Amino acid sequence: MLWRGNFKFDLSIENSIAHPFDDIVVKYSKQRYIFTRLIQCKNKESGEFSDFDLKDSKRGYSLLKYLRGFHTNIRNNFSDDYELILCTNARCTSAGVLNLDALNDQDLIADNDFSIPVYNFTQNFKDIYRNECPYELTSSCEEFFGKLRFWVTPNTKEMKTVVLNELKKMYDREVAEISYFFLLEAYRNVLEDVKVSTSPKNVNRKTKGITHEYLTELHKKVMKICNSRIWYEMCDPKADFHGMDDYLKLLKSYGGSAAIVGPEGAGKTELAIKFASDEKPDNCIFIDSKDEDTFRKSVHTLAFYVLRIKPEDFEDDAKELQAVLEEVNDFFLGSKTIFIFDDVKDDFKYATIFSSHQVIITSGEENLNFDPKIVLNGFKATEAEDFVLNHLPEEERQTVSKLTKFCDYNPQRIRQAVDIIKGTIKLRELYGGTFGVEEFLEMNEPQQS
């Protein structure tokens, strides 16, 4: 049950003053307008009901008990604007009973992949029901039907499809399916916390409901249960990662917190990712920091993912950004987390916020004001040559040193050169030709000079 926009609300479950619409009671405000929804959930295994089910007092879908509860209880306990909701997975099979509500609340959504149809009763059905219900309740019929709505929610299979589609946006198919069941288990674990809604610590006494702030904390708890390992925007290290063993050892000796600086293509980001992968932390957070706008967008996306802070709720100032980063830091306290801030251009002023975690900064600025600092100049000569020999034919052994020197031992340039040579060799072989390092150097020497 979701609403578009930013609402303040109070929520309670099994609220006796709302009986028989007491499963969920939500009181929310929007632009000084206060509205209450009293929701009763009705599940039907067959997934269908008829007008006979609604009119027969012995049937599980009988409206009589709801009308009686409205007449004796709800009208006396609620004076604000309110709406009665029968939330069901079942569809009505009888014609002339329900109309799709033309005044459907446009704030109400479930997911981009489906919507919740909202129905009210036809005038014909209301007239018939008023004539057949007990006399003492007829005076309440018009008001009752005026406030009553049917929400037809997705069934279990439809809901699973929607949730899985969302999970697949973050994980591959296999992990998404595992996460789905993990998610269900997590919310079962949290359900007991929801049932303590009468606790003075967590409840707004006036409405006897769970506060918006309390539910936000519950969401954080669920996220921690579901995401025992948050690998945010991280990719696996390159399969052909090679060399830089000394730098990995140095980074480890610094406790996994350091700035890795050096020219473009020197392997700074690869080194950071490789270190994080080898360390196997509980969480690893990769934030693109190449400029202020990109950094802010990355932080906003992360904050929405773990804290459910919407991007439109942010203010475009440093104070707001600092506060959000502090919340992100607090969320990961108590776990082993590595933060990688990639391609920092200026002095990184937010590092102290994450002092309780491991922080790796990559930057092309060797004078970056951050200690300790690892200056990465690329491969050593032997590392570069070994990398090339692992990818090119053995007969190129005599030319390897020329290629690595030509690329200034820069890992990125060497990898690009090797990819071009390998691709050209395969292409030439189709036509009975050959290609090698010497020809590559001849083709590129004039451009390099």
Q: What are the sequence ranges of the domains in the chain?
A: 2-226, 245-375, 381-448
Tokens 């990961």 label which residue?
Answer: 332
> How far from the centroid of its chain's Cα atoms is residue 197's Cα?
26
**Strand pairing class (24-30; 8-13):** antiparallel
Question: Looking at 153-309, which runs of residues are DSSP E strands?
Answer: 203-204, 209-211, 231-232, 258-261, 283-288
Q: Which two tokens mark 32? A: 């000084």
Cα(15)–Cα(19) distance, rounded to whole angstroms?
7
pTM score = 0.48
Cα(212)–Cα(447) distance, rounded to whole angstroms?
63
Cα(218)–Cα(223) distance, rounded to whole angstroms?
9
Which residues touch 129 (CB under 8 Å, ≥6 apart)?
54, 55, 63, 121, 141, 145
Cα(447)–Cα(449) distance, rounded to whole angstroms?
6
Local confidence pLDDT in tens for the 449 residues of the chain: 444 455 567 777 888 889 999 888 888 776 667 788 899 988 776 778 888 888 888 887 789 999 999 999 998 888 768 889 988 878 888 888 888 764 444 444 333 334 567 888 899 999 999 888 888 898 899 899 989 988 877 655 666 666 666 666 655 565 555 556 555 655 555 555 544 443 444 444 444 444 556 555 655 655 555 555 677 787 778 777 777 788 888 898 988 889 999 888 888 998 999 998 888 888 889 999 988 888 888 888 888 777 766 666 666 666 678 888 898 888 888 888 999 999 998 777 888 899 889 999 999 888 888 888 888 877 888 888 888 888 888 888 888 889 988 988 888 888 889 889 888 888 888 888 888 888 888 888 755 44
Q: Which numeric CATH code is attached to 245-375? A: 3.40.50.300
Judge whether 275 and 248 are in contact, CB under 8 Å.
yes
41 forms bridges with which residues in the sheet? 87
